[in-house]
Amino acid sequence: MTVTIRILSPSEHCLSRSDVDPDALRILARLQRMGFIAYLCGGAVRDLLLGRTPKDFDIVTNARPGQIKKRFANVFIIGRRFRLCHVHFPGGKIIEVATFRRDLSAEEQAAPPGKIPPELLYGTPRDDAFRRDVAINALYYNARTEEVIDYAGGLEDLARKRVRIIGDPAARFAEDAVRIWRVVRYAARLGFDIEEETARAIPVFAPLLGKCSGARLYEELNKELIEKTRPVVDALRARGLLRHIIGSFGEDYESDDALYERLRALLEAKDRLQKEGVAWSREEAYALFFWPWAESFFAGKDGDVRTVLEKAFESAGLQAVFPRKVRTDVAHILTLVSQIMTVFRTGRPRWSLRRQALFESAVRIYGVIEAGRPPEPGAFPEKLFGRPRPSSGEPEPEAERTRRPRRRRRRKPRPPKAE
Ligand code: ATP
Ligand code: MG
């Protein structure tokens, strides 16, 4: 394959050094002073060229992880198959520094994981560009010369506002179907089109998405909920991909327009509030995501609905594998939301709800469902829900402590000693 490298001089692009994180610049400068090649790469270059704020500033270099660890403080090597470095900074900031890598050939991939020598995984800058998913992610920035380097036609795609898989889409999707999701995500987030050949391969390979590792699918779903969610979920639904990620929940969201409209409104509210600075825990975001489905599930059910709901989660055929704790917490929040609704509907108090661990999360979700935002503190009437829990450190109010006297356990009479 002939590759034309395109290099833009500083005057030919809008990426300015001052837009780059100063710690990332320091790492780049140090690596280059030591004689290594080092570039800013991936999402950061793409986003800066689009005038957007990058989520993180990843670096690639020809220095090996061991060499980086020796030369920098606070470096942690992560990854089992492909090792890369995390440079830690005060305040929790982490900058990822990876070594240029290459795609393995089919034979090389067939080797058992432990048998692949690490050397084989490293490559040239060109290899590194071509192993990436889409062309707009295969751009590099040399902070010293201030040049942008394009191996795979990413600049043209940015100008044409399109997302295109590098290489043959069929082969790249067959190799890793998560790339289908990533293509759809970038197009929805950036408001780009999906290039024709890439788009044609999506429905053909979509069923493979559900066969990817459940842990990976869960990680990708987390990414969706952390950022602006609604446009991407809309796009996943439009292409029939939700069913390959969240099993029968996805099928229901795809086939039932009214049900999906309710989800859409909640995601829209979540995204809007997030933009205003409201933070959501992972469990809360998932509770919103599953609420429209859970609401119809709860209809007409009584008794121990939480356990039944947890069972329903287990049998929904979710391809994304949720950690058990997340699953049970989400089921707990959803049950509490439904119980809060019953209290308001019937006017029958239930003080015990307020004492439950995830009550505050349920209140926030209830607020979004009913009014498009979490309620103001104190909006929950004491008459129905009892007094708010004292914040940690404060003594519990007397009334709360004395309301329920502890029951004394009766001792079993001891059997008479055998003589
Ligand atoms: P974001 O702004 O959402 O972080 P990103 O492009 O940086 O977007 P990451 O998930 O952080 O996305 O991945 C970093 C880079 O790794 C991507 O830009 C892409 O080049 C590459 N990459 C990630 N997943 C794959 C994959 N499945 N196949 C090929 N390349 C991938
Ligand atoms: Mg990234």
The CATH number of whichever domain residue 5 belongs to comes to: 3.30.460.10
Q: 111 C-alpha to center of ligand 2: Å?
A: 29
Same domain, yes or no: 272 and 155: no
Q: Is the pLDDT of residue 399 over 60?
A: no
Domain end residue (candidates: 160, 193, 222) = 160
Same domain, yes or no: 31 and 131: yes
Same domain, yes or no: 155 and 253: no
Which helix H or strand E contains 155, and what residues bound it? helix 154-160
Region 334-352: mean pLDDT is: 90
Q: Which atom of ligand 1 sits closest to the CA of residue 55? A: 2
Question: Active-site residue 56, yes or no?
Answer: yes
Q: Is the pLDDT of residue 20 over 90?
A: yes
Instruction: Give a yes or no: residue 306 inside a domain.
Output: yes
User: From atom 6 of ligand 1, which residue's Cα is the shortest distance away?
Assistant: 43
Same domain, yes or no: 155 and 285: no
Please tell me the predicted confidence (pLDDT) of residue 389: 65
pLDDT band at residue 113 under the 50/70/90 scheme: low
Same domain, yes or no: 133 and 8: yes
Cβ atoms of 353 and 359 closer than 8 Å: yes
Same domain, yes or no: 274 and 131: no
Instruction: Give a yes or no: residue 83 inside a domain.
Output: yes
Q: 42 C-alpha to center of ligand 1: Å?
A: 7
Question: Active-site residue 58, yes or no?
Answer: yes
Instruction: Give a yes or no: residue 270 inside a domain.
Output: yes
Cβ atoms of 131 and 102 closer than 8 Å: yes
Same domain, yes or no: 2 and 148: yes
Instruction: Give a yes or no: residue 238 inside a domain.
Output: no
Q: What is the mean pLDDT of the chain?
A: 90
**Closest ligand to residue 166's CA:** 1
Region 250-279: mean pLDDT is: 96
Task: List CB-based neighbours of ion ligand 2 within 5 Å.
Answer: 43, 56
Q: Which atom of ligand 1 sits closest to the CA of residue 189? A: 3
User: From atom 11 of ligand 1, which residue's Cα is the shortest distance away?
Assistant: 43
Same domain, yes or no: 8 and 147: yes
User: From atom 21 of ligand 1, which residue's Cα is the shortest distance away?
Assistant: 132
Q: 132 C-alpha to center of ligand 1: Å?
A: 7
Please state, for a pLDDT cut of 90, what percent of the chain lies above it. Answer: 74
Query: What is the domain extent for residue 304?
Result: 248-389
Instruction: Give a yes or no: residue 45 inside a domain.
Output: yes
Q: Is the pLDDT of residue 58 over 80?
A: yes
Please tell me the predicted confidence (pLDDT) of residue 243: 97
CA separation for the pair 239, 192 (Å, rounded): 15
Region 117-146: mean pLDDT is: 94
Same domain, yes or no: 151 and 296: no
Nearest to 125 by CA among 158, 143, 152: 152
Q: Is the pLDDT of residue 382 over 50?
A: yes
Q: 263 C-alpha to center of ligand 2: Å?
A: 27
Q: Which long-range contacts (CB under 8 A, 24 or more apart) does 335-340 make?
A: 335/305, 335/306, 335/309, 336/361, 336/362, 337/287, 337/291, 337/294, 337/362, 337/365, 337/366, 337/369, 338/294, 338/295, 338/298, 338/305, 340/366
CA separation for the pair 273, 269 (Å, rounded): 6
Q: Is the pLDDT of residue 307 over 90?
A: no
User: From atom 15 of ligand 1, which residue's Cα is the shortest distance away?
Assistant: 42
Nearest to 214 by CA among 185, 240, 244, 234: 244
Cβ atoms of 213 and 184 closer than 8 Å: no
Q: Is the pLDDT of residue 413 over 70?
A: no
Q: 62 C-alpha to center of ligand 2: Å?
A: 19
Instruction: Give a yes or no: residue 373 inside a domain.
Output: yes
3-state DSSP call for residue 320?
coil
CA separation for the pair 106, 108 (Å, rounded): 6
Q: 223 C-alpha to center of ligand 1: Å?
A: 11
CA separation for the pair 302, 257 (Å, rounded): 27
Same domain, yes or no: 142 and 253: no
Please tell me the predicted confidence (pLDDT) of residue 416: 60
Q: Which amino acid is at 166?
A: I
Report field, pTM of the whole predicted structure over 0.85: yes
List 19, 56, 103, 193, catalytic entry: 56
Cβ atoms of 83 and 120 closer than 8 Å: no
Please tell me the predicted confidence (pLDDT) of residue 400: 43
Same domain, yes or no: 110 and 7: yes
Q: Which of the listed residues 47, 182, 198 should we mutate to test ligand 1's pocket, taking the one with most ligand atoms within 8 A of CB? A: 182
CA separation for the pair 100, 39 (Å, rounded): 10
Please tell me the predicted confidence (pLDDT) of residue 101: 95
Region 269-274: mean pLDDT is: 96
Instruction: Give a yes or no: residue 397 inside a domain.
Output: no
Question: Active-site residue 127, yes or no?
Answer: no
Instruction: Give a yes or no: residue 87 inside a domain.
Output: yes
Nearest to 241 by CA among 268, 209, 267: 209
3-state DSSP call for residue 141?
strand
Q: How many domains does the chain have?
A: 2
Same domain, yes or no: 153 and 262: no
Q: Which atom of ligand 1 sits closest to the CA of residue 185? A: 3
Q: 70 C-alpha to center of ligand 2: Å?
A: 25
Q: Which of the listed residues 57, 137, 165, 198 should we mutate to test ligand 1's pocket, taking the one with most ligand atoms within 8 A of CB? A: 137
The binding-site residues of ligand 1, defined as CB within 6 angstroms of any ligand atom, are 42-43, 55-56, 132-133, 137, 176, 178-179
Q: Which atom of ligand 1 sits closest to the CA of residue 227? A: 3
List 47, 128, 133, 252, catalytic entry: 133
Phi, then psi, of 355 in degrees rounded to 5:
-85, -5
Sign of the torsion formed by the C-alpha atoms of 7, 13, 15 and 16 = positive
User: From atom 12 of ligand 1, which residue's Cα is the shortest distance away?
Assistant: 43
